[in-house]
Each structure stands twice: as structure tokens, then as C-alpha cells.
Amino acid sequence: MPAHYLCNMKSIENKTSFILDLFFCVIFIPILVSLGPAHHWFGQWPLFSVIVCAYLYGCYFSIMKINVPKLLIAKKYTSIAGVILLSVTATYLLSLYPLPDMDFVTPALSEYQTKVRNYGVAVSLWLMFSLVIGYALTISFVKELYAQLLLKKKIEAERDKAELAVFKAQISPHFMFNTLNSLYSLVIGTSEKAENAFIKFTELLKYTYITIEKDLVTLADEIAYIQNYIDLQQIRLNSHTEIDWRYDIDNDMIKVPPMLMLTFVENAFKYGSSTCRDCVIRIYLSVRDGVIRFETWNRIMKHADEFRKDMPVGIENCKSRLMSLYPDCHSLNTAEEDGAFRVSLKIEVKAHEQHD
């Protein structure tokens, strides 16, 4: 899908959102007030009328800001209950606004008519509140549905782009592996490092070709892939770069997207390794009770401006991929501090599987 098409969809979403909000502000509320009993309130109780209108506008934009559909998708029922309780309480308190008593010759009649009027005002207030909340929730669900559709299209476009890049650069696997085997036979015995490098490189290529069409692989396979990548980097680098790679898992059969974590590992080596200055790259992976935690830490050995210019590209792609694969079941935090860069990724695999 062309990038300009996604931009057009995003632009349409923003314009539609603005139009719906504008419709609520300049058409929906004025019609609601003018066609109901509230239009009499402005002449009798102007301050109360202004407060009611401001409250209704506040309810609408608060519901839009809170995004109830997203809370519902994330199963945050406690937050939803809190929003409902707060809204109902605020409306109830507003219905208790002290309006002036009605004045009749008979005190008892004045008291009775005042109660009837207050009851009518409260009913009207609750009716307007219900209509505003109903409109806001409807628009929220429509916006969220469109946002999810746009996100899906964006992920599909990025996937198609990545696959196209692979296909453009792809050479026949059989030809490539046969060639590598021939080259390997030429370097046997000449250098142990060269032999190890060929083996690791071949394993990396095999994994890439095998997993290119797979949505999920076992964590054991992914760990082996990362290990081969690190081993290959260690062959290339000298003693100035120290690599601290550790993992602690309770289940290596968990299914994960292939090469999801490799972007962060590659970035750590790209910006955190050096052949002339001492540096450390730390990579840590843990799995406990269906929760994956992955972290990388490295000193920024390249120019800071170059780092800040190039680094976000891979990170943003990973963010989009994670949003598509694990909506509301992951967190990704990056931080640059004191000349070091840290990535912290958490994926709640078990919660995602239960959600599906």
C-alpha cells in the first residue's frame, strides 16, 4: 500500500474527528438546549445555565480524551467503573445546585412547586447528560475502529515493504548455500576464526530464510539466532568491546515473532562497539510466567548527532510491529542518559494469548 495512501487516510481521520467535534459544539449542544426545557433556564438562572453547558462540553471532551473503547479492549474494567462513578457523581451534585425557591402566597404551595420544579430540572439534566455521553461513546467507538483499521493498514504496508526489500535482494537460497559451502571448503584449516565465522554466518542466513514467512518461532530458536549473531560480532571485534549477554528463562517454547529483538541487538553493536576504545554492551533476556523482559545497554561510541539521527528509524518500526502484535500487552521504553542508551522491552505473552 503506498505511503501517500496512508497519509491520506490519516488526514481524513483528523479532519473527520475535527468535524465531529465541531458538530457537537456548534450544532448538537445548541439543538439539545433550544429544543428542551433548558432554553428557559437562561432567562431565569443564567449562571446555572452556563455551568450546565460547560459541564456538558466537559463531559464530551473528557470521554473523548479518556478513550473508553481502548480501556474496554485492554479489559481495564476498574478504570471504566471509575469513569462511570465519577460522571454520575458529578451529574448528581450538579442536580443539587441551589436554585431560588418559587414564591407563592401559600408557603406550602411554594415548597411543593419548588420540589416539582427541581425534579423537572434534575430529569432534564440527566437526560441531556445521557444524550451527550451516548454521543461521545458512539464517536469514541467510531474513532477507535478507524484508528485500528489505519494501524492495521500501516502494519500491512510496512510488512509488504519489508518483504519487497527481501525479495529484491534475494538470491536463490540453494545457490547461496552451495556457494558458501564451496567457500567454506576453501578456508578449512586456514583459520579457526574464518571457519567459525562461515558457520555462524551460514546459520544466520538459514534462520532468516526459514523464518521469513513464519509469524512465530520458538524462543529457543530466537535465542540461538541472537547467540549466533553475537558470536559473529565477537569474531569481528577485538578485546576493546566487552559483551555481557545473559538470559534466564523458564520456558523456551514460548512463541515469539522472529527477529523482533534483533533490531535492538544490532543497534547496540552499531552504536556501542569500538575497536579502539574500551566499551561494554549488555544484553539481558528473561522469561517468567509468560512475561518476556528484554534489555540492552551500551555506551554511545559514535557521534551523538549521528546516533540521534539514525536510531529512531529502527525503534519506530519495532514500535509499530509491537502495536500490531501485542496491543496493550507490551511496553517499550528507550532512554539516553549520561552518554549511554538503554532499551527495555516487556511483553506479556500469556495475557496476549488469553486476550486472543
Residues 161 and 22 in one domain: yes
Last residue of one domain, picked from the residues 140, 166, 192: 166
In a domain? residue 182:
no
Phi, psi of 103 (to 5 degrees): -110, 110
Q: Tell me what pLDDT residue 299 has.
A: 87
For residue 9, give the H/E element and its range. Answer: helix 3-23
pLDDT of residue 171: 46
Q: Is the pLDDT of residue 345 over 80?
A: yes
Looking at the structure, tell me whether residues 160 and 275 fall in a common domain: no
Q: Is residue 95, in this structure, part of any structural domain at all?
A: yes
Q: Is the pLDDT of residue 241 over 90?
A: no
Judged against a pLDDT cut of 80, whether residue 150 lies above it is answered with: no
- The answer to whether residues 158 and 251 belong to one domain is no
Residues 157 and 16 reside in one and the same domain = yes
Distant-in-sequence, close-in-space partners of 262: CB < 8 Å, separation ≥ 6: 225, 226, 229
Bridging pattern class, strands 241-249 and 279-288: parallel
The DSSP-derived string for 16-63 is HHHHHHHHIIIIIHHHHHHHSGGGGHHHH-HHHHHHHHHHHHHHHHHH
Model confidence pTM above 0.85: no
Q: Where in the sequence is the domain holding 281, given as residue range(s)?
A: 238-355
- Number of structural domains, the chain? 2
State whether 149 and 255 are in the same domain. no
Q: Residue 295 in 3-state DSSP?
A: strand
Partners of residue 295 on adjacent β-strands = 284, 344
Same domain for 267 and 351: yes
Going by the DSSP 8-state scheme, the letter that residue 156 receives in this structure is: H
211 belongs to a structural domain: no
**Mutual orientation of helices 3-23 and 107-169 as an angle, nearest 10°?**
180
pLDDT (tens digit per residue) in 299-338: 887 765 665 565 545 677 778 778 878 877 889 998 888 8
CATH of the domain at 263: 3.30.565.10
